[in-house]
Structure formats: structure tokens, C-alpha cells
Amino acid sequence: MSRVKQFGAFWYDFVVGDDWRLAVGALFALGLAGVIAHAGHSAWFVVPVVVGVMLSASVLRATPKPPQ
């Protein structure tokens, strides 16, 4: 494997990791905060709220369901 592919594979694994949805959610949160800040409003709360919601959803997806 070439060094360029190894470098790309490292960064993909580092950023995406086990759940691609968390990476997309983080990018969404940063983009939304950027749009809000560009409009002249305070956007400090956007990233923590979105990341908290995404992490909660990830934990709920990973929690095994009890048998019925």
C-alpha cells in the first residue's frame, strides 16, 4: 500500500471511525454554526447541542434491545 493510501486510510479511520453518522453530524453542526455566525448571531451553543444529540442517538442505536 502506498504512503498516500496509508495516509488517507489513517485520516478516514480517525475522522469517521466506527460510525459515519457521527462524522456527518459533526460536519453538519460546524456548517450550521458557520451559517448562524455569518448571519451575525451567536452560534456557540450549536455544536455542543448537535453533538450531544448525535452521541445520544448513537448510544441508543448501540444499546441491545431486551427480548420480548
Question: Considering the entire predicted model, what is its pTM?
Answer: 0.76
The range of the structural domain enclosing residue 48 comes to 16-62
Q: Could you tell me which residues come within 8 angstroms of residue 15 by beta carbon, excluding any fewer than 6 positions away?
A: 23
**47 to 13, 14, 15, 21, 26: CA distances (angstroms):** 22, 19, 16, 15, 7
- Does 57 fall in a domain? yes
- Does 4 fall in a domain? no
- Does 68 fall in a domain? no
Summarised one tens digit per residue, pLDDT across range 55-66 is 999 899 888 888
pLDDT at 67: 86
- Does 40 fall in a domain? yes
Number of folded domains in the chain? 1
pLDDT tens series, the chain, 68 aa:
799 999 999 988 988 887 889 889 999 999 999 999 999 999 999 999 999 999 999 899 888 888 88
Query: 28, 30, 19, 1: which is closest to 55 by C-alpha?
Result: 19
